[in-house]
Amino acid sequence: MTIAKRTLLRLLAPLCLGLTLCGLARADDYPSKPARIIVPYTPGGFNDTLARTVGDRLSKVWKQSVVVDNRPGGNTVLGNNLAAKAPADGYTMLITPLPFSALPALYGAKLPYNATADFQPLVWAGYTQNALVIRPDLPGVSNLKELIDFAKKNPGKLNYGSTGSGSSNHLSMELFMSMTGTKMTHVPYKGSAPAVMAMLGGEIDVLFDNVPNLMQQIKAGKLKPIAVTGTERAALLPDTPTVQAAGVPGYEVIVWFGMQMPAGVPKAMVDRANKDIVAILKDPEVVKQFRDQGVEVVASTPEAFGQLLQKEIPKWTKVVNDAGVKIE
């Protein structure tokens, strides 16, 4: 930035009051200081992988440190709220997965931020599917139709696991029960690994979970996949039908992963960050790394991710309200 421009900005500063012109002027130097990516989960899992992959490569592109800041707690509300209240200066980013869209319905007026007004969509990074697995020794059940029939005849008898109220696997099951007229008993756990271990131990009978989280036990024959939640078969489970194809028309759950910034970040900064992150996500090495984990790269514009959120928040609000889901 030239001396003349700096002088002009100092003269205009008292008059700016957050106007777009001043935001664009500040964006002229962007990025010029360290940034952080807030992950509202503990280390481990794909949300953390996404943040660390982007953060490591972005720091090289920006020639600034990009720190991954894990802030778990409150069903991701703690980390989300931290990002919502951060300065709108382009140096705070938030990892935003599917459960974000259910929180307004789960918490209502108790949610300390506005899920739409307080955030600026940055990029839809990628997506995976959930797989529906059962215990191989579940009597009389070997496919989706038999599961539905059993659950209808024995309401509440089957236990299903999740990683907590509002998680993608919990929401997948609530939508499934709503569309099939079935009722199973919810048993929440503190993460995917404990839920899978509970299933291996016979504590639960049925589980929706991200395909990558289940592959080891599926390959070992300890869990039986009977359906996946997308509109097409999952690459890691080519022999497993979709829930739609197996008998529940219209059923679809895409487990998406994105990134946002606090609302009010100047468009020039949003566009610059999006451009650099998209380039990282489209790198063939990253595409392969993510695909090996069952995640397909999208690398969208901010506008496309915003459109996804506008579709998903009402969808999951209805599911939560119809099912009467409560935070546990």
Determine the average pLDDT of the residues in 77-87: 98
Among candidate residues 262, 302, 276, 271, the one with its CA nearest the CA of residue 123: 302
Q: Does residue 2 have a pLDDT over 90?
A: no
CB atoms within 10 A of CB 109: 6
In whole angstroms, what separates CA 276 from the centre of its chain?
Answer: 21
pLDDT digits over 205-259, tens only? 999 999 988 999 999 999 999 999 999 999 899 999 999 999 999 999 999 999 9
8 Å CB contact between 160 and 185:
yes
Burial label, 326 (beta-carbon count in 10 A; 0-12, 13-18, 19+):
exposed
311 SS3 class: helix
Q: Cβ contacts of residue 306 below 8 Å, gap of 6+?
A: 121
8 Å CB contact between 243 and 227:
yes
Q: Does residue 18 have a pLDDT over 60?
A: no
> Can you give the pLDDT at residue 205?
97
> Can you give the pLDDT at residue 140?
92
Q: What is the mean pLDDT of the chain?
A: 91
> Can you give the pLDDT at residue 10?
53
Query: Which of 183-197, 219-233, 313-327 is most confident?
Result: 219-233
Determine the average pLDDT of the residues in 139-159: 96
Q: Does residue 19 have a pLDDT over 80?
A: no
Around 257, how many Cα atoms within 13 Å sit in the side-chain half-sphere? 26
Domains and CATH numbers, the chain: 28-124+257-323 (3.40.190.150), 129-228 (3.40.190.10)
Q: Cβ contacts of residue 3 below 8 Å, gap of 6+?
A: none
Percent of the chain with pLDDT strictly greater than 70: 91
Q: Does residue 13 have a pLDDT over 80?
A: no
> Can you give the pLDDT at residue 4?
52
> Can you give the pLDDT at residue 169?
92
Measured CA distances, 281 to 50, 57, 105, 285, 304 (Å): 9, 10, 31, 9, 16
Return the ∠ at Cα 218 (arms to 212 and 222), rounded to 5°: 135
> Can you give the pLDDT at residue 276?
98
Q: Cβ contacts of residue 282 below 8 Å, gap of 6+?
A: 297, 299
To the question of pTM greater than 0.75 for the whole model, the response is: yes
Measured CA distances, 98 to 34, 46, 88, 127, 205 (Å): 28, 12, 23, 9, 24
In this structure, the dihedral spanned by the alpha carbons of residues 162, 164, 165 and 168, taken in order and rounded to 10 degrees, is -60
> Can you give the pLDDT at residue 251?
97
Determine the average pLDDT of the residues in 274-294: 96
Q: How are the residues of the chain apportioned to helix, strand and coil, as percentages rounded to the nearest 5?
A: 45, 20, 35
Q: What is the DSSP string of 203-262?
A: S-SEEEEEHHHHHHHHHTTSSEEEEESSSS--TT-TTSPBTTTTT-TT---EEEEEEEEE
136, two tokens = 């191989």
